[in-house]
Structure 1
Amino acid sequence: MPGTSFTAYLYPVLLLLGSNIFMTFAWYGHLKYKSAPLMTVILVSWGIAFFEYCLQVPGNRLGSAVYSAPQLKGMQEVITLVVFAVFSAVYLEQPLKWNHYAAFCLIVIAALLMFKE
């Protein structure tokens, strides 16, 4: 968009990055605590997800001023993959293998197509 500031493009990315960190912990953090009761895991995950939504909703709202909905979704997928790759290797101590990276590359290519006019 002509005349749109750099921050209008940057803030949604940063908010979606933050929301994905919370989302990844909400969805996968409990895998490190297999002995925790399921109901506890559900409630803790739900609590963490609240903070995800506190970042994700404004990220998409602000982002819709400069990105289309498909572009936001494509961006979200790439951010999710990057956050998950780091989380899996560092927190879960389960590094990704070549086939995971190959699959992620295909998803990134698909997401980049969202930005093609």
Structure 2
Amino acid sequence: MLNLPVPVVTIGLLIASNIFMTFAWYGHLKYKSASLVLVILASWLIALPEYALQVPANRIGHGHFSAAELKTMQEVITLTVFAIFSVFYLKEPLTWNHAVGFAFIALGAFFIFHKWG
């Protein structure tokens, strides 16, 4: 991929895949009057590109990152994308308790990525 470093490609693909998945999982919440079957079908169609990005992200990143590190990156990116989505698309505020919870998850990421001697 244009000879970009593995971390750049991996993180970029994970961010892109998470944007699709967030819309697949939560985008329909603004359309409560839409039929559930239609919402499920639309979500599947949105999720397909997510998988087309997620699988290469993990394939490219594995070896440079461990599986645990890839999963941790996925979760941190998911929360970041979701926080932005929640505020700007769903118009729901993030409160102090959300920030504290996200901070604990970030602390967990620190423990996963820190090289312990």
TM-score grouping bracket, smaller chain normalisation: over 0.9
Aligned to 1:19: 17
* 1:1-117 pair list within 5 angstroms: 7-117=5-115
Which deviates more from structure 2 when the two are superposed, residues 103-112 or residues 13-22?
103-112
Contact 1:74 1:112 in 2 (8 A): no
Q: CA RMSD in A?
A: 1.1
Question: Which residue identity is paired with 1:77?
Answer: E
Question: Which residue identity is paired with 1:105?
Answer: A
So what's the TM-score if we normalise by structure 2? 0.93
Q: How many residues get paired?
A: 113
Question: Which residue identity is paired with 2:45?
Answer: G
Cα distance, 1:8 vs structure 2: 1.2
Question: Which residue identity is paired with 2:30?
Answer: K
| Cα deviation code 1:24-61 (max 9, x no counterpart) | 00000000000000000000001100010010000000
Runs of 4+ in 1 over 4 A off after TM superposition: none
Cα distance, 1:65 vs structure 2: 2.6
Aligned-residue identity in percent:
57
Gaps of 5+ in 2: none
- Structure 1 residues 106, 10: closer, same or farther in 2, change over 3 A? same
Contact 1:21 1:83 in 2 (8 A): yes
SS at match of 1:114: helix
So what's the TM-score if we normalise by structure 1? 0.93
